[in-house]
C-alpha cells in the first residue's frame, strides 16, 4: 500500500519535473528539474529493490553528468531566452510526430497488457542487490562489460582529441 | 572472438606507440594487424564457432560474420593505405588512427553480435569515434557543423533504437536473438513497435529515407578521408547488423511488415536520385548516391530469409570499393584546388591527371551499374531477387531510378573529359596511385566475383 | 517496524543533528584556539571561561546581521544554494553507526539511523550532491568571483571523488560489503582496516581534505585571488550555513574515516576490558560511542593541524595531484589488494 503511494508520488514528480525541464526558459532551471527527475527515477529503482542501481544512478547522473551540464551552462552564461525562435510549423511537426509515437507506444503497451504477455517476475527481492548485479555483470554480461571499455576508451580519446589545443602554424 | 580481441588491442597498441614516440611504426603495425585480422577470419572459416555460452552467448562468429569482418578489414586496409599521405605530416595521427580502429572494432561487433546488448554497444562503438572524426578538422566550420549534426541526430537515433530494444526486452524478457526469434514477432504488438523503433534507428545509421537528412551535410562537412570511411565500412557495418537483426532474427516481423520496407526503399530511391540530380557539390552528390545505394541494400534486408547474406556482402564490397575510390579522388582533387569541392574542380581532369580521371570514371560507372563493372552485378542480383519475390512495382522503380542516377554520374564524367582552355596545374602522380589502380582493377574484376563464392564453397 | 523503534530513530535523528551542530560550533572555537596555539596567541578568551561561549556569540551575531540579497541575483536559487549545502552535509550522518546496540526494556535499539546495505554508495551519492549547493549558490550570486569559486570548488570535488571512490573499492574488496555497520563490526577483533589498507587510507584522507574544501585545498575561497570565493555575496545566516556546513562536513568525514579505517566505535581489548570492569552491554555501548567521538575529535584536530601548518596549493598542482598521483595510486592499490587476496586464496574460488 505504502509502496503504491510512493510509486504514484514518484511518477508524478518524475513526469512534472521532466516537463519542467523542457518547458522552463532558463537553462539552469532545466538542469535542476532534470536532477529532480533523476531522483524520482532513482526512487523507482528503490521500489524495485534495485538499491545499487538507484545509488549509482544518483552518483553518475545527478552527481557527475549534470554537474558538467551545469558547468557548461554557467560558463556560457546562457541566461534566459537565448535560443533561436523556431517556426510554428517545425514545432507543430515535432509535437505531432512525437505525439503519434507516444500514442502508438502506449496503445501497444496497453494492448500487450491486455494479452497479459508481460510476465511478472515472481521474486524481485534479490534482483537488484549489489551481489546479484555483480555476479550477473561479471558472468553473464562479461563480454558486453569488456566491450564497453573499448567504447569508453574511444570516447575518451575522442574527447581529448577535440579539446586539445590546435597548433596554428 | 579472437578477431574482436585483435582489433581492440590494435587500437590500444596504436595509442601506446604514440606514447612511446614510435609514430613511424604506426602504419606498418596497423597494416600487419589488419592482415592478421583477415588471416584470422580465413582460418576460422567454416569452423562454426559456437557462442560462448558460459558468458551468455553474446557474440557469434559464424560464416556470415567472418565474411563481413573480412570485408571490413579489407576495406579498412585499403583506406589506411590510400590515405597515407594525408596523415604523413599530421602530428596527431595516432589519435585519429586509433579512433578509426575503434570504429572498425564496432563494425566487427555489428557483424557478430548475437544479443541486443552487444548490438547496442556495437552501434555506439561504431558511431562515437565517427562523431569525433567528422569534427576532426577543428578549424573548419563545416567540419564542426558536420560533427555536431551527426552527433545530435545520431544520439537521437541511438535513443530510439534503445527504446525499441527495451520494448522487445519487456515483451520477451530476453536479449538473446535466438530466444527472441523463437518467440515470434507477429503476435505481439509490443514487439512490433519495438522492432519498428529499431528499424527507425537503423534507418538513420544507413541513411535511408526518411531518416537520411543528415547524410549530405555530414558527408560534405567531414574531412573527405572520413567521408570515405563513413560511406564504406560504417554503412556496410550498419547493414551487417541490420541484416542479422531483421532478415534472420526478426524474420517474422520483416515478412509481416514488408510494406514498410518497400515504402522506405521506394522513398529512398526516389528522393536520393531526384534530389541528387540537382547537386553541384561532388561530395553531396556522392552522398545522395550513397543514399540510393542504401535503398538497394535495404532490399536485401527486406527479402529476409529468402535472400542469402553473401549477396549483401558482395554488394557492400563492390559499392564500398567504388565509393572509397571516388571519395579518395575527390580528396586529391580538392587538395589541389584549395579546398574547392565543387564539381568545377573536376573540369578537364583527364588533362590534369589521366589516372585519376580513369579511376573516377570506373568507380562512377560502377556505382551507376553499367555492365562490365561490378556494380552492375550487385544491382542485377537484387533486382532479380525482387522479381522472384513478385515485387514488380519495386523492380520497375529500381530500374527507373538507376537510369535517372546515370544522368548525374555521366555529368561528372562529361565534366572530367571536357577539354579545358588552360589546363591549369597538373596534379602530380603520387606514390599510392597504384592503390587506386588496384581498386579500379578490383571494380572490374569483381564483376566475376560471384564465382568467388563457388571457390570457397559457400 | 515497531512504533518504539520508529520513535527511537526519530529521537536519534534529532540527537545526531544537534550533536553535529554542536560539534561544528565548537569546532570553530577549537579551530581558533588551535590556530592561536600554533601562532603563539591567546585566541578567543572574552566570552565565558576560555572563550567557551564564543560560538554562541558568533551564532547570535550571524542571526542578527542584516539580510542582504544582491539586486540582480536569482532569489530562489540564491537561497536554495546554502540550504542544499547544509542538507547534504547532514545527510551522510544517517548511515554512520554511532555505536552498538542499546537494550532498554527488552527492546534492542541500534545506534544507527538506518543500516542500508549500500551505505558507502549512499554516502558517495550524497557527497556528490553537495556540489550543487556550492554551484547554485555561486552562480545565483551573479558575481564573477563567486562563479569562479564555485567552479573551482566543484571541479575539485569531482576530481577527488574519483580517487576517493577507487581508494574505497580496495577496502570494499576486503570487506565484501557496502554496509558501514558491517564494516565496523568486522573490525571488532582489534585490527583496524588501516593496517591492511595504509595506502588506501592515505588516499582517502587526502581526498577527504579536498572534498571538504579544507586547507591546503581551500582554493574555492582563496582570498588573494577570489575575494571570498563562492560565498562572497552571502551575508548573515546564509553565510553562516555555508561556514557551518563546512565544519559539519569535516565532522562527518572524520566519522566516516574512523568507521572505515579505524574500527569505528570498537577499541582494542574491548571485551576484556568490559569483563574486567564488569560492564553491562549498555554500558559498553555507551563507552564505545564515547570512544568513537574521541577518535573523531582526534581527526578534527588533525584537520586543524594541517590547516595551520601547510600552505595552500596552486590550482594546477591540486589538479595534477588528484589526477596524476592519487588516481593511479588508487588503481595500483586496487591491483595490489587483488593480487594479495588472490595469493592468499581469499578470492577466485567461486
Domain extent, residue B447, equals: 2-455
Helix (H, G, I), strand (E, B) or coil at B117: helix
Interchain proximity B117–A144, CB inside 8 Å: yes
HSE-CB of C242 using CA atoms within 13 angstroms: 29
Kind plus residue range of the DSSP H or E element containing C103: strand C101-104
Confidence of residue A128 (pLDDT cuts 50, 70, 90): low
Q: How far apart are the first and last CA of chain C?
A: 36
For the cut 80, the answer to whether the pLDDT of residue A80 exceeds it is no
Alpha-helical (H) ranges within B246-389 are 251-256, 258-277, 282-303, 309-336, 349-352, 354-368, 374-388
Interchain proximity A162–B171, CB inside 8 Å: no
Cβ burial of C221 (10 Å; 0-12, 13-18, 19+) is buried
Q: Which residue has the higher pLDDT, C227 or B397?
A: B397
Most confident of the following: A100-114, B266-280, B427-441, C260-274: B266-280
Chains A and B touch (3+ CB pairs under 8 A): yes
B96, B118, B188: residue with CB nearest A117? B188
Q: Which residues contact A96 (CB under 8 A, 6 or more apart)?
A: none
**Separation of alpha carbons C276 and B258, rounded Å:** 85
C121, C147, C158: residue with CB nearest A74? C147
Interchain proximity A162–B135, CB inside 8 Å: yes
Q: A32 at the C interface (CB within 8 A)?
A: yes
The A residues from 41 to 100 touching B (CB cutoff 8 Å) are none
- C154 contact residues in A (CB cutoff 8 A): 67, 71
Helix (H, G, I), strand (E, B) or coil at B113: strand
pLDDT, average across residues B274-281:
85
Q: Which residue of C has its CA nearest to A42?
A: C125
Chain A adjacent subunits, 3+ CB pairs under 8 A: B, C
Q: What is the pLDDT of residues B76-133, one digit of tens each?
A: 998 988 888 777 777 778 888 999 999 999 999 999 888 899 999 999 999 999 999 9
For the cut 90, the answer to whether the pLDDT of residue B162 exceeds it is yes
The A residues from 99 to 158 touching C (CB cutoff 8 Å) are 129-130
Interchain proximity A119–B173, CB inside 8 Å: yes
Exposed e or buried b per residue across B211-233, where buried means at least 16 C-beta atoms within 10 angstroms of its C-beta? bbebbbbbbbbbbbbbbbbbbbb
pLDDT of residue B54: 60
- How far A120 CA lies from chain C's nearest CA (Å)? 25
**Separation of alpha carbons A150 and A129, rounded Å:** 27
Domain ranges in chain C? 3-343
Question: Which of B192-201, B262-271, B336-345, C155-164 has the weakest average pLDDT?
Answer: B336-345
- Count contacts between A and B (CB, < 8 Å): 101
pLDDT of residue B385: 87
- A117 contact residues in B (CB cutoff 8 A): 171, 188, 190
Indicate the average pLDDT of chain B: 84
- B125 contact residues in A (CB cutoff 8 A): 147, 150-151, 154
For the cut 80, the answer to whether the pLDDT of residue B6 exceeds it is yes
- How far C118 CA lies from chain A's nearest CA (Å)? 7
Interchain proximity A28–C131, CB inside 8 Å: no
Confidence of residue B159 (pLDDT cuts 50, 70, 90): very high
**Separation of alpha carbons C207 and C203, rounded Å:** 6
Q: What is the pLDDT of residues C294-346, one digit of tens each?
A: 888 898 888 888 888 888 888 888 888 888 888 999 999 999 988 888 888 77
pLDDT of residue A136: 82
Q: B189 at the A interface (CB within 8 A)?
A: yes
Provide the number of structural domains found in chain B: 1
pLDDT, average across residues B292-298:
91
Interchain proximity A32–C136, CB inside 8 Å: yes
B91, B99, B193: residue with CB nearest A154? B99
ipTM of the complex: 0.87
- How far A59 CA lies from chain B's nearest CA (Å)? 22
The B residues from 226 to 255 touching A (CB cutoff 8 Å) are none
- How far C99 CA lies from chain A's nearest CA (Å)? 25
- How far A82 CA lies from chain C's nearest CA (Å)? 17
- A120 contact residues in B (CB cutoff 8 A): none
Q: What is the pLDDT of residues B348-358, one digit of tens each?
A: 777 777 788 88
Interchain proximity A71–C155, CB inside 8 Å: yes
pLDDT of residue B130: 92
- A108 contact residues in B (CB cutoff 8 A): 167, 189-190, 192-193
**Separation of alpha carbons A35 and A67, rounded Å:** 10
- How far A20 CA lies from chain C's nearest CA (Å)? 16
Q: What is the pLDDT of residues C124-134, one digit of tens each?
A: 888 888 888 88
Q: A2 at the B interface (CB within 8 A)?
A: no
**Separation of alpha carbons C179 and A55, rounded Å:** 13
- How far C121 CA lies from chain A's nearest CA (Å)? 6
Q: What is the pLDDT of residues B136-146, one digit of tens each?
A: 888 888 888 99
Confidence of residue A62 (pLDDT cuts 50, 70, 90): confident
Task: Mutation target for C interface from A59, A77, A131, A139: give the one with most C CBs within 10 A.
Answer: A59
- B118 contact residues in A (CB cutoff 8 A): 143-144, 147
The residue whose grid cell reads 517556426 is A87
Interchain proximity A58–C125, CB inside 8 Å: yes
pLDDT, average across residues A105-110:
77
Cα distances from C327 to residues B365, C167, C178, in angstroms, run 56, 9, 21
Q: What is the pLDDT of residues C72-131, one digit of tens each?
A: 767 788 888 888 888 888 888 888 888 777 777 777 777 777 777 788 888 888 888 888
A52, A70, A130: residue with CB nearest C135? A70
- How far A85 CA lies from chain B's nearest CA (Å)? 19
Cα distances from B116 to residues B45, B59, B110, in angstroms, run 24, 10, 10
A109, A150, A158: residue with CB nearest B132? A158
For the cut 60, the answer to whether the pLDDT of residue C349 exceeds it is no
C116, C122, C139: residue with CB nearest A28? C139
The A residues from 44 to 83 touching C (CB cutoff 8 Å) are 51-52, 55-56, 58-59, 62-64, 67, 70-71, 74-75
Cα distances from C309 to residues C38, C215, C306, in angstroms, run 8, 9, 5
pLDDT of residue B129: 93
Interchain proximity A161–B122, CB inside 8 Å: no
CATH of A1-80, one of 3.20.20.60, 1.20.120.1200, 3.30.1490.20, 3.40.50.300: 1.20.120.1200
Interchain proximity B171–A117, CB inside 8 Å: yes
pLDDT of residue B331: 83
The residue whose grid cell reads 565534366 is B415
A143, A157, A167: residue with CB nearest B59? A143
**Separation of alpha carbons B201 and A53, rounded Å:** 27
Interchain proximity B92–A164, CB inside 8 Å: yes
**Separation of alpha carbons B277 and B282, rounded Å:** 11
pLDDT of residue A18: 92
Interchain proximity A71–C151, CB inside 8 Å: yes
Confidence of residue C35 (pLDDT cuts 50, 70, 90): confident
Domain ranges in chain A? 1-80
Q: A143 at the B interface (CB within 8 A)?
A: yes
Amino acid at each position: 500500500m505504502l509502496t503504491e503511494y510512493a510509486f504514484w508520488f514518484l511518477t508524478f514528480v518524475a513526469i512534472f519535473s521532466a516537463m519542467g525541464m523542457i518547458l522552463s526558459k532558463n537553462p539552469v532551471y532545466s538542469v535542476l528539474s532534470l536532477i529532480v527527475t533523476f531522483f524520482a527515477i532513482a526512487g523507482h529503482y528503490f521500489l524495485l529493490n534495485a538499491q545499487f542501481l538507484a545509488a549509482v544512478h544518483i552518483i553518475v547522473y545527478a552527481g557527475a553528468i549534470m554537474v558538467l551540464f551545469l558547468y557548461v551552462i554557467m560558463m556560457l552564461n546562457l541566461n534566459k531566452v537565448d535560443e533561436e525562435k523556431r517556426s510554428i510549423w517545425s514545432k507543430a511537426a515535432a509535437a505531432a510526430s512525437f505525439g503519434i509515437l507516444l500514442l502508438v507506444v502506449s496503445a501497444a503497451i496497453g494492448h500487450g497488457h491486455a494479452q497479459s504477455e508481460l510476465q511478472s517476475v515472481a521474486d524481485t527481492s534479490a534482483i537488484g542487490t549489489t551481489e546479484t548485479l555483480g555476479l550477473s555483470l561479471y558472468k553473464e554480461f562479461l563480454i558486453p562489460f569488456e566491450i564497453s571499455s573499448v567504447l569508453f576508451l574511444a570516447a575518451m580519446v575522442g574527447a581529448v582529441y577535440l579539446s586539445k589545443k590546435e597548433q596554428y602554424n | 572472438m579472437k578477431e574482436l580481441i585483435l582489433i581492440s588491442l590494435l587500437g590500444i597498441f596504436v595509442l601506446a606507440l604514440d606514447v612511446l614516440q614510435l609514430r613511424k611504426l604506426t602504419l606498418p603495425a596497423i597494416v600487419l594487424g589488419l592482415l592478421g585480422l583477415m588471416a584470422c577470419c580465413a582460418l576460422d572459416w567454416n569452423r562454426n564457432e559456437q557462442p560462448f555460452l558460459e558468458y551468455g552467448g553474446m557474440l557469434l562468429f559464424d560464416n556470415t560474420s567472418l565474411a563481413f569482418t573480412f570485408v571490413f578489414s579489407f576495406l579498412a586496409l585499403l583506406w589506411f593505405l590510400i590515405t597515407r599521405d594525408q596523415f604523413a605530416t599530421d602530428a596527431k595521427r595516432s589519435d585519429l588512427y586509433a579512433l578509426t580502429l575503434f570504429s572498425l572494432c564496432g563494425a566487427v561487433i555489428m557483424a557478430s553480435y548475437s544479443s541486443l546488448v552487444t548490438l547496442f554497444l556495437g552501434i555506439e562503438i561504431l558511431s562515437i569515434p565517427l562523431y569525433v572524426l567528422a569534427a576532426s578538422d577543428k578549424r573548419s566550420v563545416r567540419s564542426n557543423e558536420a560533427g555536431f549534426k551527426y552527433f545530435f541526430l545520431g544520439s537521437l537515433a541511438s535513443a530510439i533504437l534503445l527504446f525499441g530494444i527495451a520494448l522487445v526486452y519487456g515483451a520477451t524478457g530476453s536479449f538473446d536473438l535466438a530466444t527472441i526469434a523463437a518467440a515470434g514477432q507477429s503476435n505481439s504488438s509490443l514487439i512490433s513497435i519495438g522492432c519498428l523503433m529499431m528499424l527507425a534507428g537503423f534507418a538513420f545509421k544507413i541513411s535511408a529515407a526518411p531518416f537520411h537528412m543528415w547524410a549530405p551535410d555530414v558527408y560534405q562537412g567531414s574531412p573527405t578521408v572520413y567521408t570515405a570511411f563513413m560511406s564504406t565500412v560504417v554503412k556496410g557495418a550498419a547493414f551487417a547488423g541490420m541484416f542479422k537483426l531483421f532478415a534472420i532474427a526478426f524474420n517474422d516481423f520483416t515478412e509481416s511488415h514488408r510494406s514498410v520496407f518497400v515504402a522506405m526503399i521506394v522513398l529512398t530511391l526516389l528522393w536520393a536520385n531526384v534530389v541528387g540530380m540537382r547537386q553541384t557539390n561532388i561530395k553531396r552528390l556522392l552522398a545522395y548516391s550513397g543514399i540510393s545505394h542504401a535503398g538497394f541494400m535495404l532490399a536485401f534486408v527486406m527479402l529476409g530469409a529468402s535472400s542469402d547474406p553473401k549477396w549483401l556482402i558482395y554488394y557492400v564490397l563492390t559499392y564500398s570499393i567504388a565509393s572509397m575510390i571516388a571519395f579518395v579522388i575527390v580528396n586529391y582533387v580538392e587538395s589541389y584546388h584549395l579546398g574547392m569541392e565543387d564539381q568545377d574542380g573536376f573540369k578537364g581532369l583527364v588533362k590534369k591527371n589521366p589516372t585519376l580521371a580513369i579511376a573516377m570514371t570506373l568507380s562512377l560507372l560502377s556505382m551507376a551499374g553499367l555492365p562490365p563493372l561490378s556494380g552492375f552485378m550487385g544491382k542485377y542480383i537484387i533486382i532479380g531477387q525482387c522479381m522472384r519475390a513478385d515485387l514488380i512495382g519495386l523492380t520497375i522503380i529500381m530500374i527507373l531510378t538507376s537510369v535517372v542516377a546515370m544522368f548525374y554520374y555521366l555529368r561528372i564524367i562529361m565534366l572530367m573529359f571536357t577539354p579545358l582552355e588552360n589546363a591549369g596545374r597538373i596534379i602530380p602522380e603520387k606514390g599510392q596511385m597504384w592503390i587506386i589502380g588496384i581498386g579500379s582493377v578490383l571494380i572490374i574484376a569483381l564483376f566475376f566475383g560471384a564465382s568467388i563464392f563457388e571457390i570457397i564453397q559457400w | 517496524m515497531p512504533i518504539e523503534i520508529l520513535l527511537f530513530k526519530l529521537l536519534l535523528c534529532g540527537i545526531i543533528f544537534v550533536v553535529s551542530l554542536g560539534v561544528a560550533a565548537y569546532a570553530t572555537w577549537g579551530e581558533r584556539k588551535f590556530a592561536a596555539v600554533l601562532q603563539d596567541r591567546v585566541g578567543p578568551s572574552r566570552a565565558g571561561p576560555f572563550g567557551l561561549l564564543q560560538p554562541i556569540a558568533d551564532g547570535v551575531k550571524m542571526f542578527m546581521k542584516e539580510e542582504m540579497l544582491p539586486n540582480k541575483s536569482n532569489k530562489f536559487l540564491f537561497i536554495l544554494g546554502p540550504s542544499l549545502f547544509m542538507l547534504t552535509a547532514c545527510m551522510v550522518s544517517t548511515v554512520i553507526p554511532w555505536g552498538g546496540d542499546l537494550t532498554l526494556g527488552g527492546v534492542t535499539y541500534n545506534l544507527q539511523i538506518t543500516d542500508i546495505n549500500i551505505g558507502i554508495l549512499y554516502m558517495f551519492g550524497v557527497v556528490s550532491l553537495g556540489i550543487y549547493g556550492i554551484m547554485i549558490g555561486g552562480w545565483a550570486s551573479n558575481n564573477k568571483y563567486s562563479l569562479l569559486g564555485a567552479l573551482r570548488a566543484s571541479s575539485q570535488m569531482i576530481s577527488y571523488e574519483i580517487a576517493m571512490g577507487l581508494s574505497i573499492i580496495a577496502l570494499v574488496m576486503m570487506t565484501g560489503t557496502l554496509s558501514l555497520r558491517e564494516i565496523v563490526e568486522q573490525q571488532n577483533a582489534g585490527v583496524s582496516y588501516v593496517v591492511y589498507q595504509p595506502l588506501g587510507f592515505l588516499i582517502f584522507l587526502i581526498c577527504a581534505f579536498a572534498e571538504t574544501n579544507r586547507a591546503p585545498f581551500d582554493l574555492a575561497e582563496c582570498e588573494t585571488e577570489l575575494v571570498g570565493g563562492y560565498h562572497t555575496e552571502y551575508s548573515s545566516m546564509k553565510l553562516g550555513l555555508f561556514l557551518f556546513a563546512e565544519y559539519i562536513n569535516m565532522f562527518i568525514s572524520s566519522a566516516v574515516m574512523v568507521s572505515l579505517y579505524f574500527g569505528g566505535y570498537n577499541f582494542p581489548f574491548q571485551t576484556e576490558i568490559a569483563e574486567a570492569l564488569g560492564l553491562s552491554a549498555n554500558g559498553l555501548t555507551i563507552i564505545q560511542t564515547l570512544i568513537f567521538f574521541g577518535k573523531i575529535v582526534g581527526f578534527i584536530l588533525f584537520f586543524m593541524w594541517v590547516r595551520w601548518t601547510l600552505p595552500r596549493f596552486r590550482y594546477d598542482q591540486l589538479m595534477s595531484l588528484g589526477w596524476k598521483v592519487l588516481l593511479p595510486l588508487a588503481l595500483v592499490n586496487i591491483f595490489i589488494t587483488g593480487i594479495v587476496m588472490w595469493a592468499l586464496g581469499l578470492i577466485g574460488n567461486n
